[in-house]
Amino acid sequence: MPSAERHPVRWLIELWAVIFVHAALRVTPLRLRLWLGGALGRLGYRLDRRHRDVALKNLERAWPSKDLAWREEVARKSFEHLGRLLCEIVMQREEASKALGRTKIEGWDYLQEAARNPGGYFLVSGHFGNWEWVALLQVRIIERPRHHPEGM
């Protein structure tokens, strides 16, 4: 396989593709953006045979008692989720303030108490959905210390 270092034109094409997608997503409502992401994931599932086969093989290893139809559905839904995730991540910086309004944080008081500890704290969280939002939302909450997310 040729080295990516030898293909600066490819980098430029990829950069412009990302810039175009970002610009298009900026004017797209959230629901449509998520639908488009799901459609992109379904397309990826159909076209990316190598990764589809890896997903199906891994599902077979993890759940040998499940039939092929079940594994295909789980793999397809995983690709859809990744497509939606891509559309969310591209818009993450612009959407962070809106996301705070849609986010429910449980145990906020415990986090505030731990943050007052001069030794710092170790935060453990579940890995559900778009966990990349967690880090960004923590930064946004810290940037606005008067913001209290309880009750969201």
pLDDT tens sequence across 78-101: 999 999 988 888 877 777 777 777
> Across the chain, what does the average pLDDT equal?
82
Q: In sequence order, which residues have a C-beta less than 8 Å from that of residue 38 and are 6 or more positions away?
A: 80, 83, 84
> Residue 140 — pLDDT band, cuts 50, 70, 90?
low
Tell me the mean pLDDT in the region 17-24.
87
Burial class (CB in 10 A: 0-12, 13-18, 19+), 80: buried
Predicted model pTM:
0.66
| pLDDT at position 48 over 70 | yes
- Higher pLDDT: 111 or 63? It is 63
- pLDDT tens for 74-83 read 999 999 999 9
3-state SS, residue 16: helix
Percent of the chain with pLDDT over 70: 80
